[in-house]
Each structure stands twice: as C-alpha cells, then as structure tokens.
Amino acid sequence: LLDIGATPTKFKGTIMYKLVIGNKRYSSWSMRPWTTMRMLDIAFEEIVIPLDTPTFKNQVAKYSTAGTVPVLMDGNLAIWDTLSIVEYLADAHPDKNLWPTHKAPRAMARSMCAEMHAGFMALRSACPVNLGKKFHLMERGAKVDTDIARISELFTIALRKYGDSGDFLFGEFGAVDGYFAPVIVRLRYHGYQMGTLIESYIDAVLGTAAFQEWNAAALKEEWIVEADELDEKAKEVLT
C-alpha cells in the first residue's frame, strides 16, 4: 500500500527519489520536475512509462491512483501532480531555492506556476510538445495569440524586475523555469519570435545541461505516438 501520510525524508546525499515520467518526446508535464531536479542537483532514479499505450494506466497505477505522470516517489510515499511535486521538493530541500528567497519574487514565481498549471489551454492544444519536429509559424487563432501575449507579459516583468542576477526569470534557475520549459518549447518549436529579451531567456533554458540531456534522450526514443505526429495544417520544417 502507498503511504499517503509520511513527512518528507531528509536528503542524505544518496538517491532517494524515483521520478515516474512519460516518454520525453511528448511529456510536457514530466519535463517540468525532471529538468528542475536535474538543474538543482536533486538526485533521482527515473522510471519511464510510454504514453498512449494500452498498458500505460496499469503501469502508472503501481505508483499513483491519479493515472497520470509525473509522479514523485519518496520511498513508498507518492506525490502526484506537478505543482505538488515542486512544493514537496521545495519543503524537503530549502537549500536548493526552488522558489526565489524574497517575498515578492517568490510570490510572483508561485503565481506564474499556478497560472501555467491551470491555463494557457489554447496554446497547449494548438502547439503540442513534440521534440522531434519544428513547425513554421502560422495563424493559430486569437486565443493562442492572447496566451502568448500573457506569457510575454509575465516573462518581461520577471526578467526586467528580477532577472538581472542570472540568465533565468528570477536570476538563478528555479522551479518556475522548469515549469515554463515546455511552454518555451512550444514557442520555439512552433515558430514564434518573442523579441530579444525573451529570446535570450529561451536560449538560456534550451541551452541548460538538463534540457540538453532531456532532448538528446527524447530524440533517441523509439516510441512514436502517431496522433501526435500528424499536423496537416502546419508545414513541418525539420524532423
């Protein structure tokens, strides 16, 4: 039986976590905690469950009743849903600064993740994550444009107000950058140009060792979900 009542175990320098994820080519939610943990040097063992297979639900059920990935396992304690995973890690590793340390940027970073978690549906559905393909920019509708304008506004405020001390939204890499990594992939891989300030932030995230490692593994995967590969309207430029 899974333990749902334990308190976080203190990190002792050996691998104590298991992170259950989907395949890297498509799994936007899995990319968030994976890149965050890698960037902040929080050790974990990875368990990949390929998406869209007849056995997916049964395999995930070994870890969580939610039926989705990612799931963080701390011993036999399951933490599901990305925002809770990030908060759990922030509690367990205060030294890793998953959130900015000061009140105002910390509140803004958390608000941005919550807004991302529940929103940007038009962008998410029009521009799926598929690390194997890049698409030409095309008209994708007013709702997608509204989402992109809001993302641009959030990035610009964070980078101008708090980003001076490093390459990322609030300076050093934090959970918020992991949280927006798949959003960045959608923008870059679907042809959007975001202006110099945001483009250099996008370059910084895509240039991290964590994203590079994720991407290299994604491109080597053998699982292909046909439905995610078909986009008759978008003109593919690279495969």
Ligand X SMILES: N[C@@H](CCC(=O)N[C@@H](CS)C(=O)NCC(=O)O)C(=O)O
Q: Is 68 one of the binding residues for ligand X (CB under 6 A)?
A: yes
Q: Is 50 one of the binding residues for ligand X (CB under 6 A)?
A: no
236: β partners = 135
Q: Is 29 one of the binding residues for ligand X (CB under 6 A)?
A: yes
User: Is 81 or 221 the residue whose CB approaches ligand X more closely?
Assistant: 81
The residue written with tokens 């691998």 in the block is: 15
Work out how close the CB of 197 gets to ligand X at its nearest, in angstroms, rounded to a whole number: 28
Binder of ligand X out of 17, 19, 22, 170 (CB under 6 A): 22
Q: What angle do CA 127, 57, 180 make, to 5 degrees?
A: 30
Supply the Cα-derived Rg of the chain in whole angstroms.
18
User: Is 70 or 178 the residue whose CB approaches ligand X more closely?
Assistant: 70
Work out how close the CB of 74 gets to ligand X at its nearest, in angstroms, rounded to a whole number: 16
CB-neighbour burial class of residue 166 (10 A; exposed 0-12, middle 13-18, buried 19+): middle
User: Is 99 or 162 the residue whose CB approaches ligand X more closely?
Assistant: 99
Binding pattern for the stretch 71-100 against ligand X, x by CB under 6 A and - elsewhere? ----------xx------------------
User: Is 26 or 162 the residue whose CB approaches ligand X more closely?
Assistant: 26
Please, are residues 131 and 206 in contact by the beta-carbon 8 Å criterion? Answer: no
Work out how close the CB of 58 gets to ligand X at its nearest, in angstroms, rounded to a whole number: 11
Q: Is 59 one of the binding residues for ligand X (CB under 6 A)?
A: no
Tokens standing for 80?
């599901």
Q: Which stretch binds ligand X (CB under 6 A): 7-15, 66-74, 150-158, 187-195?
A: 66-74
Binder of ligand X out of 19, 24, 25, 27 (CB under 6 A): 27
Phi, psi (deg, nearest 5) at residue 135: -120, 150
Q: Is 51 one of the binding residues for ligand X (CB under 6 A)?
A: yes
CA distance 156 to 169: 9
Say whether 235 sits in a helix, a strand or coil: coil
Under rule CB under 6 A, how many of the chain's residues touch ligand X? 13
DSSP string of 166-222?
A: SSBTTBS--HHHHHHHHHHHHHHHTT----HHHHHHHHHHHTSHHHHHHHHHHHH--
Please, are residues 233 and 138 in contact by the beta-carbon 8 Å criterion? Answer: yes
Binder of ligand X out of 39, 69, 127, 158 (CB under 6 A): 69
Please, are residues 215 and 39 in contact by the beta-carbon 8 Å criterion? Answer: no
Q: Which stretch binds ligand X (CB under 6 A): 65-73, 92-100, 118-126, 220-228?
A: 65-73
Q: Which residues bind ligand X (CB under 6 A)?
A: 22, 27-30, 51, 56, 67-70, 81-82
